[in-house]
Chains A and B, each alone.
Chain A
Amino acid sequence: MQVGLHHYLVVSALLFSLGLLGVLARRNLLVIYMGLELMLNAANLALVAFSRYNANLNGQVMVFFIITVAAAEVAVGLSLIVALYRKRQSAHVEDLTSLKL
């Protein structure tokens, strides 16, 4: 069987959907965060697949940028979550209601 663009894209879509499901369904911030990372990497996979398909390196350059930004974002996001946990003793989204009326 020849593995083509379609296969990559299907995997990417599955990964994205799984990530989205995690973001929507899970209540723990850490897990939501993991879902977000999964969605980012689904996009990365799609970009790399397109890059290869079109024989154009622009997509891969984009992926490097995304990985870099995601690393920075993870650093900020995780530290926020840790700070929040220290303050609230909880990392559940239901508990984060201080902005609600």
Chain B
Amino acid sequence: MDAHAAHHAVTAAAPAFSSRPEDIAWFILLLPLIAAAGITLLVRRSNFLAATFSLAATTTAFILSFVLFLTFGLGDATAAATPFAWLHAGDLAVNLGVTVDKLSTLMLLVVTGVSALVQVYSLGYMHGDRSFPRFFVGLSLFTFSMLGIVLADNLVMMFLFWELVGVSSWLLIGFWYEKESAADAAKKAFLTNRLGDFGFLLGIILIWAAAGTVNFAELSQKLGAHPDLLGNLSSVAGLLVFMGAMGKSAQFPLHVWLPDAMEGPTPVSALIHAATMVAAGVYMLCRVFFLYQVDPAWPVALSFLGSISALDIIAALGGFTALLAALMAIQQNDIKRILAYSTLSQLGYMVMAVGCGGPDAAMYHLTTHAGFKALLFLGAGSVIHACHHEQDIWKMGGLRSVMPKTFLTFALGTAALIGLPPLSGFYSKDSVLLAALENGHPVLFGLGVLIAAMTTFYMVRLVLVAFLGTNRSEAAGHAHESPGSMTWPLILLAVPSVALAWLPLGDYLRHHFFSDHAHHAAAVSDEISVGASLSALFGGLNQILFEPFNHAPLPAVMGTGALLIGAWVAVTLYWKAERDPLPKLLGALARGMKNRFYFDELYEAVFIPLHDLVARFADGFDRWVVSGLVVRGVHGSTELLGRTLRILQSGNLQTYTFLFVAGVALVVLLALK
């Protein structure tokens, strides 16, 4: 069955929904923008109306995404939308269009779903804030930008929305702009991202110059037909594009912005810095994964890299980031920062999976991670809210009994994150480990297992210290459960955290990436459909639950083992601990972890002076050359000329006459000569 026919078969199966999928996708994309514009222009002063607008738009977008997923995503087709021309310059033609396929419909669900829940949560969390409507404008604008990245059908359009995401995240991190640290964090996030975006842009230009198109479908087709199209720049192009992902997904060495971004309101952290924006980098890598499947080649200057491909470098960077962030997370005391470093670490995991040639595993982990990490952040927000904005876990404790709903959901999220079978995190983490093992990266596999143990360690530490034991401060003693608008999203998010992996999501993604790459080692399952997934859910649940142990027991057993070891160490150290025993045990290493291995200080010592030097030079150039020489020069010479000519206009009639006669005489003289 070819793609076109499949498309029709799917839409015919749902006659109640006869619009074309790309039209629905456009609608989903524009809904949050309409909400943002509507709130800004019409109801900026009304808290109630602003929240209603925003929530209505996002919820509708979620429902439409769900319909799109069921009617179209489960099918086999790809719909490219009627693109309209946005830019024509020479040979460059940029259209605005949408791509609707398995990948984007799944991501649409993640983005709109988390966004809707976060907005419900914000009703409670942001209650009483002076700029309540502005917050919802920011959330809507962000959702719009993120959906743009998800749906973009070419690199330039993706870059546009990429920047829009940067702007809206700047707006949201700096939401409490009167707080200096928040304003600084917003700037830091934006500027660090710009650094990555610069590489991304260079990559786009390079690809366009070599392939003559920026459209994903055309590019994939061209590269499929001519794997040597990019010549010896293929790996460089891949790495430049990866730089964009490095910024957005906070990979080493551009990871420093993410922990600071926790200065924003907690719902923002949940939406942007856990579920969506940071996932954009991974999503983008999956979207352009065909770019990494061409023959690896390096230009002469980089030929010493030999047979190392761009993917290998990506995998190594991802693994390193994951390790680094997990180490840092172990010694953080701020509840949000622990989660931030955990996010970093998990993002490193996903990037590592992409680098190991498993974009399906990366997307799988991204999807489940979006659910349970959003849950964890929202849970942390609930705790912070209850403890009167106390974020130090050593000043909490004993919250289990006073905040039962938050504790239960937080514990479920933790269990999912550390990969306790049969929760969702176990399966996605397992698929990442499997991807590393199957594609010949045993070192990264070992690293992954180690990180899994560390993840368990710091998450169990967090739960033990913050929720169990006795309360260690006044604020924690007076804590009480959060309102329903905050606990319901937690409960709703707990469902996918637990059960998401019981759906055959792994097969779904494998099918997207590898259905037409028969040479790939991964088992390509049969075509799946609503019916098949339902029967799998009810009939073969058993089979799904134990699939990892049957299919590839090594990663599953190792992952579970890592979990047990990490949990055991954490419980031994932190059960009823009054203060952190680690600094004494590890000494300098613990200090390093706590201080984030001095990366911020290093950057401050190396890059900031360098940047200042460049800035001073640019300032001098602007002041003396542009402003002094060019602008003042033009202005000065014009004025001088004017002053000279002014002397001629003496107002003396007889001078004019004299000049006139002298002129005539001159003309006559010349004429007679």
Q: Residues of A at under 8 Å CB distance from B?
A: 20, 23-25, 93-94, 96-97, 99-101
Contact = CB atoms under 8 A, between A and B. Distances in A.
Contacts of A94: 652
Contact of B657 (A24, A99, A101): A24
Interface string B628-654: 000000000000000000000001111
Interface of B: 651-654, 657-658, 661
A61 to B, nearest CB: 25
A98 to B, nearest CB: 10
17 contacts: A20-B661, A23-B654, A23-B657, A24-B654, A24-B657, A24-B658, A24-B661, A25-B654, A93-B652, A93-B653, A93-B654, A94-B652, A96-B653, A97-B651, A99-B651, A100-B651, A101-B651
Nearest to A94: B652
Given A24-B657, A24-B661, 4 more contacts: A20-B661, A23-B657, A25-B654, A100-B651
A23 to B, nearest CB: 6
Contacts of B658: 24
Nearest to B661: A20
A37 to B, nearest CB: 15
Contacts of A100: 651
Contacts of A20: 661
Interface residue SS majority, chain A: helix
B644 to A, nearest CB: 16
Nearest to A99: B651
A91 to B, nearest CB: 13
Contacts of B657: 23-24
Contacts of B653: 93, 96
A23 B656 CA distance: 11
Nearest to B658: A24
A42 B661 CA distance: 16
6 smallest A-B Cβ distances: which pairs? A100-B651, A93-B653, A24-B654, A24-B658, A97-B651, A24-B657
User: By CB atoms of chain A within 10 A, which of B652, B653, B661 has the most?
Assistant: B653
Contacts of A101: 651
Contacts of A23: 654, 657
B623 to A, nearest CB: 36
A94 B651 CA distance: 9
Contacts of B654: 23-25, 93
A101 B661 CA distance: 24
A97 B651 CA distance: 7
A40 B24 CA distance: 90
B35 to A, nearest CB: 61
A22 B406 CA distance: 108
Contacts of A93: 652-654
A24 B658 CA distance: 7
A18 B657 CA distance: 15
Nearest to B654: A24
A47 to B, nearest CB: 17
B657 to A, nearest CB: 6
Contacts of A25: 654
A100 to B, nearest CB: 4
A30 to B, nearest CB: 14
B668 to A, nearest CB: 12
Nearest to A23: B657
A20 B660 CA distance: 12
A97 B654 CA distance: 13
A100 B646 CA distance: 12
A63 to B, nearest CB: 22
Contacts of B651: 97, 99-101
A94 B654 CA distance: 10
A39 to B, nearest CB: 10
A11 B653 CA distance: 27
Nearest to B650: A100
A43 to B, nearest CB: 13
Nearest to A27: B654
Of listed B651, B652, B658, B661, residue having the most chain A CB within 10 A: B651
A100 B649 CA distance: 9
A50 B325 CA distance: 108
A93 B563 CA distance: 107
B329 to A, nearest CB: 77
Contacts of A99: 651
